[in-house]
Amino acid sequence: MAKITVIGSSSMDLVVTAPRRPNKGETILGESFKTVPGGKGANQAVAAARLGAEVYMVGCVGGDAFGKTILDNFKENGVSTTYVEPVTHSESGTAHITLADGDNSIIVVKGANNYVTPDFVENALDVIRISDIVLIQQEIPEDTVKYVSEKCHEFGVPLLLNPAPARPISKGVIENAAYITPNESEAAILFENQDIHVVLAQYPNKVFITEGKNGVRFHDGEKEVVVPSFPVEAVDTTGAGDTFNAAFAVALAEGNSFEKSVRFANRAASLSVTKFGAQGGMPTRKEVEESV
Ligand code: RIB
């Protein structure tokens, strides 16, 4: 069983479904409001656990009702919360999501996720050291991403960096990470003013660009490869990227080839968008296998 540590955010998603987005200064009537567990880190932890991995979450929740719901959700999905800390003087992270015009727009308020500092992560070095792979994203402090990249490099544990939301990343972090999975707009920020085809060739089997419906592009050391996605009727695309990253990590940790791992991850991500909520459609291992 793949042992995976996820270091990242845990939030509540406050989701409004509306016929369209309001203009500046305008009030419109929405159709529904739901609160569901989210946060890129938590989403990736839950997705990996549903796919059969042994998962350790390293993160912080607030000492509020949302924090309790987030912790319960980890437990229900078989994610270890040994390294998840309730922060009593902070509110839980929240993501304010509007679903309209067939896509989402999101404002994240980090709250307790700001407390996922290098000092906090130090408490989890024992589990990081023995992980098959570590997953990290960018809804936690920048220093933490740098610290984890250095520790993973020192321990020889592969780090999968999902650089979302986008921010510029130091050369050191890029070098320390084993895998980096930006979407197209994140890649443009990470590798500003660089030809993306040159970047891919410079980082073979390391930079995997997710291009939504087009699939995933990477360089295999000899040539550029695009692994196509699986066409589905999308209900809610929130969390598709998180499902991709988790499934990719699981498949890599199980020793599969890059191409096979991307195909498995594309399949899991395509299933994830067929239901409402970031975690609502995240498939189990059986569901991915039966979809082939
Ligand atoms: O990647 C999707 C996630 O991004 C949502 O669950 C929301 O919490 C935002 O952080």
143 catalytic per annotation? no
Q: Atom 9 in ligand 1: which residue has the minimum CA distance?
A: 39
Residue 151 near residue 174, CB atoms below 8 Å: no
Q: Atom 6 in ligand 1: which residue has the minimum CA distance?
A: 38
Quick one: the chain helix, strand, coil %, rounded to 5?
40, 25, 35
Q: What topology does CATH give the domain 3-19+32-285?
A: UDP-N-acetylmuramoyl-L-alanine:D-glutamate ligase (3.40.1190)
Nearest to 212 by CA among 202, 225, 227, 223: 227
Q: Which two tokens stand for residue 41?
A: 């880190």
| Binding site membership of 108 for ligand 1 (Cβ less than 6 Å) | yes
Nearest to 207 by CA among 230, 228, 186, 237: 186
Q: Which long-range contacts (CB under 8 A, 24 or more apart) does 72-76 make?
A: 73/37, 73/42, 73/46, 73/279, 74/10, 74/42, 74/45, 74/46
* Per-residue confidence (pLDDT) for residue 292, from 0 to 100: 79
| Binding site membership of 243 for ligand 1 (Cβ less than 6 Å) | no
Our mutation pick for probing the ligand 1 site, out of 16, 92, 106, counting the most ligand atoms within 8 A of Cβ, is: 106
The region that residue 52 occupies, defined by phi over 0 for left and psi between -120 and 50 for alpha, beta otherwise, is left
Print pLDDT tens along the chain (292 aa).
999 999 999 999 999 999 999 999 999 999 999 999 999 999 999 999 999 999 999 999 999 999 999 999 999 999 999 999 999 999 999 999 999 988 899 999 999 999 999 999 999 999 999 999 999 999 999 999 999 999 999 999 999 999 999 999 999 999 999 999 999 999 999 999 999 999 999 999 999 999 998 999 999 999 999 999 999 999 999 999 999 999 999 999 999 999 999 999 999 999 999 999 999 999 999 999 999 7
Extents of the domains making up the chain:
3-19+32-285
Residue 8 near residue 137, CB atoms below 8 Å: yes
Report the sign of the C-alpha dihedral through residues 47, 55, 58, 121, in that order: negative
Q: Is 41 annotated as a binding residue?
A: yes
d(CA 245, CA 135): 8
Q: Is 114 annotated as a binding residue?
A: no
* Kind and range of the H or E run holding 143: helix 142-155
* Per-residue confidence (pLDDT) for residue 290, from 0 to 100: 93
* Per-residue confidence (pLDDT) for residue 109, from 0 to 100: 98
| Binding site membership of 39 for ligand 1 (Cβ less than 6 Å) | yes
* Per-residue confidence (pLDDT) for residue 213, from 0 to 100: 87
* Per-residue confidence (pLDDT) for residue 36, from 0 to 100: 98
Q: What are phi and psi of 129, to 5 degrees?
A: -60, -35
Measured in whole angstroms, the distance separating CA 268 from the mean position of its chain's CA atoms is 13
* Kind and range of the H or E run holding 83: strand 79-87
| Binding site membership of 277 for ligand 1 (Cβ less than 6 Å) | no
Question: Got the DSSP string for 92-118?
Answer: PEEEEEEEETTEEEEEEE-GGGGG--H
